[in-house]
Structure 1
C-alpha cells in the first residue's frame, strides 16, 4: 500500500482556504543562504543592507541561539520580516526542531504575524517523510486561518543517519518541498564520525599513492571529501523530484580557501548554493555558485551551433551532441538567473545591452 498521496490529491490544499501548492518551484537565484541571529538588534538594524548583498536572508532560531534567547529571536525575526522590503531577496527562517519546546510557537507565531513575507521554512533534523507531513498539514491550517496568499515552502536539513537513509521519501513527501541542505556537524555526530569539524574535510581521511610507485621519494597523500557520498545521494533525490540541493555550513571562518574548495565540490556535484555563516563567505558563495565566464561563453556557442538541441557539431576540436547541449543549457540558464541579480556578472556574461 502506497504511503504517498495519489496524483489527483497530491496538489490539493491540505486545509480549506489554504493556497494551492506550487506545481513548479518559483525560479530564483539562491547562491547563498545567509544566516542572521534575529535577537541581535545590531544585526537587525543592518538587514536592509544585508538583503542587498545576498540572495537569501535566513533568520536562525535553532542551533547557535541560546535557550534564553529563543523567544527574542522569534520576535526579532517577525519584526525584521514585517519592517523590511526584501525585494528580490528571499526570506527564510530556520525554526527549532520538531521535538523542541519552541517549534510549535515558532510556526504558529511566524505564520500569524509574517506569513505573507516568508518564502521558506527550514526544518532541522528531518528523519523521514512523517516530519514533512506534519509541518505540511500545520502550515496549511495556519495559512488558511491567517489568509496567507501563497504557500510557504519547506526546506529539509539532512543531519541524521536516518534522514540520509530516507532521503528519497523526504524529497517525495510534499509539493511544499523546496529542497535540502547537508548538515555536516549533526550528521557526523549521528554517524559516529571521528571529527569535530563543521563541514570541510579532515587530514586523516586520505588515500596514499601505490607503495610500489614511491621509489624512495615518499608516498603522495591526497585528502578525500568526507561528504561526497551524502551530497551525491541528496542531489539525486532532489533532482529526481524537482527540488534544490544545497551544501550547508563551513565553520572555519579563518580558512577561506578551504571553504571555497568545499563549496566548489558541492557546486560541481549539482548543488545550487550553500550557507554563509559569516560575511566573508558571501563573496565566496557568489564566486563559486555563479558559472565561470569562459564556461558560459563556451556553453552559449554550443546552444548557438545547435539551436534545436539535435545533431552533432565540432567546436574547437570537440564533438558536441544533444547531451552536451543539455549541459550547456543548464549553465546558460543559471547564468541568466545570476545576471538578473548581479549587474557585474550580467555584463561579463554578455547578457546586458
Structure 2
C-alpha cells in the first residue's frame, strides 16, 4: 500500500482526487471572439508559465438557430487546434435540445483529447447528468469531466445530489435564467451586480450551490457580471463571491474581466508567506501539532493553509521558495 507523502494527499484525503481548477472560466461563442480568447489564453500561458483561466467555447448561446451543426464543427476544430498546455472546454446544448447528441458526438469525437471538460446547461436533476454521461461514453469521451449549470429552482433543490455524482467536477450558478424562472417574483434588479448580492432568494441559491460543492469536494463557480465595462463593480462582485459566499471560481464574459477575477481570488501576499511558513514547519514535524508565533496549529488549520497555497498557485502568484517544491511539475 502506497503511503501518502504530498501535503495535498496527507491533508485533504479523499478530496485530493478532485482536480484543481483555474479560478476563472472565460466564455465566448462568436467565432472571432473564440479565436481571440484562445490567443489571449496562449499569451497568458506564456506570461505566467501556467494556464490561469479556462476558455469555454459556447454552443448553447453561440450557435445561430439552424446553424448548430456547423457551429459544433467550428468549436471542435478550435479545441482540437488549441495550444498545448491550455485548458479548453465546450458548452453544449441542454440534454433536451435537438442538437445535444450531435454536439457531443461532433466535439468529443474530434477534440475529446484536448477538452478539459464539457459544460452542461439547464441541469435540473441527476437524470440529466446520467444522460450526458451516456452520450459521452458513446462518443468515446468517458474520461471527460462534466460541469453542470444550475439555472432553476428545481436544480437548486437538487444541487447536493447533482454535486455528489462522480463525473461532476464543478457546479456553476446561472443567474439570469434563475431569475427569469420565477415568473416575475424576483425583480430584474436581482440580475445586476448589486441586486444579486442582496436579494434573499438569489443569495440563498448561491449559498446552496456553494455548500453542495464543498460537501462533495467539487468546485463552485460564480455567475457572470454582465456590466463588463464596470471594472470596480466586477472587482467587488468577485471579492464577495470569494470571501463571503464560498466560491472558488467565477465566469468571465469579456477579456477585461479575466485579470480582475484572478486578482480578486488571489490571497494576500502576507497570507501566502504565513501559510508557507506554517506548512514547512508542520512537515518538519511529520504533520504533528506545532506552535507558530504563539498559536497552536494542527491538521485542521494545515488544511486551510494548504488550500490557500493552492489558490495562490492557481492565480499565478509567486510562491515562497521553501514551498515551491510542492508545486514543481504542476500546472494550473
TM-score range, shorter chain: 0.7 to 0.9
Alpha-carbon shift at residue 126 of structure 1 (Å): 0.6
List gaps (5 residues or longer) in structure 1. Answer: 1-22, 206-222
1:128 aligns with 2:125: yes
Task: Decide whether aligned partners of structure 1 residues 197 and 73 sit closer, same or farther in structure 2, where only a CA change above 3 A counts.
Answer: farther
* Secondary structure in structure 2 of the residue aligned to 1:127: coil
Q: Deviations over 1:274-304 (max 9, x none)?
A: 1110011010111112222111112223324
Note the 1:87-102 alignment, pairs <5 A. Answer: 87-102=84-99
List gaps (5 residues or longer) in structure 2. Answer: 1-14, 45-51, 326-332
Equivalence for 1:323? 300
Greater alpha carbon shift after TM alignment, 49-58 vs 177-186: 49-58
Provide the rounded CA distance (Å) in 2 between the counterparts of 1:131 and 1:225.
27
Equivalence for 2:174? 183
1:153 aligns with 2:145: yes
Equivalence for 1:15? none
Note the 1:1-353 alignment, pairs <5 A. Answer: 25=17, 27-37=19-29, 39-41=30-32, 43-44=34-35, 47-53=38-44, 54-63=52-61, 65-85=63-83, 87-143=84-140, 151-173=143-165, 175-191=166-182, 192-196=185-189, 198=191, 200-202=193-195, 227-268=202-243, 269-307=245-283, 308-311=286-289, 313-315=291-293, 320-338=297-315, 342=316, 345-346=317-318
Task: Decide whether aligned partners of structure 1 residues 25 and 63 sit closer, same or farther in structure 2, where only a CA change above 3 A counts.
Answer: farther
Alpha-carbon shift at residue 29 of structure 1 (Å): 3.8
Alpha-carbon shift at residue 200 of structure 1 (Å): 2.6
TM-score normalised by structure 2 residue count: 0.79
1:185–1:196 contact (8 Å) kept in structure 2: no
Paired positions, count = 299
Larger RCO of the pair (alpha carbons < 8 Å, separation 6+) = 2
CA RMSD of the aligned region, Å? 2.8
1:120–1:155 contact (8 Å) kept in structure 2: yes
2:280–2:322 contact (8 Å) kept in structure 1: no
Equivalence for 2:4? none
Q: Which has the higher helix share?
A: 2
* Secondary structure in structure 2 of the residue aligned to 1:112: helix
1:184–1:199 contact (8 Å) kept in structure 2: no
Alpha-carbon shift at residue 100 of structure 1 (Å): 1.9
Alpha-carbon shift at residue 162 of structure 1 (Å): 0.2
Provide the rounded CA distance (Å) in 1 between the counterparts of 2:181 and 2:137.
31
Alpha-carbon shift at residue 197 of structure 1 (Å): 5.3
